[in-house]
């Protein structure tokens, strides 16, 4: 199975790119972030025409996540537990039947948190990460393949960005952010890309400004985090860099995990 995550940066602006990639690459499950669309405004028919089932958790103009899949999920949960007052659409989770049992997949759009000295935005990011940690801890007790896929807005290590000094005071790279990400990892989750490659300059995001793509001034912030049961079935990963060179691209590219769930 090919399971991917992609911050699409606006589904309506990027629908043709998405349709082309789905047709060419044929992933089994795709976790989208930043769809920037309410549920009823999502271009469902165009995607269903390619043979995909669509589940969304949208929000007008901002945020929003979705899961596209070749098979219909057995169950779907919208929203990250732990704060009933949180109105931002940043989490959707689905369970799929596979030959070996089930696989649980979540699409995550973690808060950016910038500016890091903002009295609301950065604390919200850290609180959201703690909610995610608690939820992941609970899900891990199920002892099933779990894939937490998404735009984490976290640069885990210095070699995951082109120049650590540029990002030193950014919310994506602050020590508190990276420590929160490590607490998530320490539950027993595996970073799929780093489990399959120790290469440097593996990036998933290039800013639209200052020729970042042309200079390869990127960062790695899109991750597939795996439970032990999912990590045992991981065979390979890929970062679909070529998509960034397409017309009207997202500033993120798909990250794909290849799994054996036979």
> Which amino acids are annotated catalytic?
109, 151
The H or E element that residue 230 is part of is helix 228-231
> How many angstroms separate the CA atoms of 135 and 255, rounded?
23
Measure the CA–CA gap between 205 and 181, rounded to whole angstroms.
18
**CA separation for the pair 191, 45 (Å, rounded):** 33
Q: Is 146 exposed, middle or buried (0-12, 13-18, 19+ CB in 10 A)?
A: buried
Helices (DSSP H) in 26-148: which residue ranges?
44-48, 121-140
Stated length of the chain = 262
Whole-angstrom Cα distance, residue 246 to residue 35?
18
Name the helix (H) or strand (E) containing 181. Answer: helix 175-185
């Amino acid at each position: 199975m090919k399971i991917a995550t992609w911050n699409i940066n606006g589904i309506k602006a990027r629908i043709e790119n998405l349709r082309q990639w789905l047709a060419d690459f044929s992933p089994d499950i795709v976790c989208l972030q930043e769809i920037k669309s309410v549920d009823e405004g999502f271009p469902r028919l165009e995607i269903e025409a390619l043979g995909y089932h669509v589940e969304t958790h949208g929000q007008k103009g901002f945020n929003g996540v979705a899961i596209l899949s070749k098979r219909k999920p057995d169950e779907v949960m919208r929203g990250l537990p732990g704060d009933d007052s949180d109105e931002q659409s940043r989490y959707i989770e689905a369970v799929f039947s596979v030959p070996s049992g089930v696989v649980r997949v979540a699409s995550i759009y973690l808060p950016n948190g910038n500016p890091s000295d903002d009295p609301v935005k950065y604390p919200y990011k850290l609180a959201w990460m703690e909610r995610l940690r608690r939820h992941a801890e609970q899900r891990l007790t199920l002892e099933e393949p779990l894939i937490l896929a998404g735009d984490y807005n976290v640069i885990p290590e210095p070699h995951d960005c082109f120049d650590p000094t540029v990002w030193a005071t950014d919310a994506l790279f602050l020590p508190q952010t990276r420590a929160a990400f490590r607490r998530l990892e320490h539950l027993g989750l595996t970073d799929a890309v780093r489990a399959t490659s120790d290469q440097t300059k593996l990036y998933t995001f290039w800013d639209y400004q200052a020729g970042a793509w042309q200079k390869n001034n990127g960062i790695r912030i899109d991750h597939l985090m795996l439970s032990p049961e999912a990590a045992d079935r991981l065979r390979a990963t890929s970062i679909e860099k070529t998509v960034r060179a397409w017309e009207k691209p997202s500033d993120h590219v798909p990250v794909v995990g290849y799994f054996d769930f036979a």
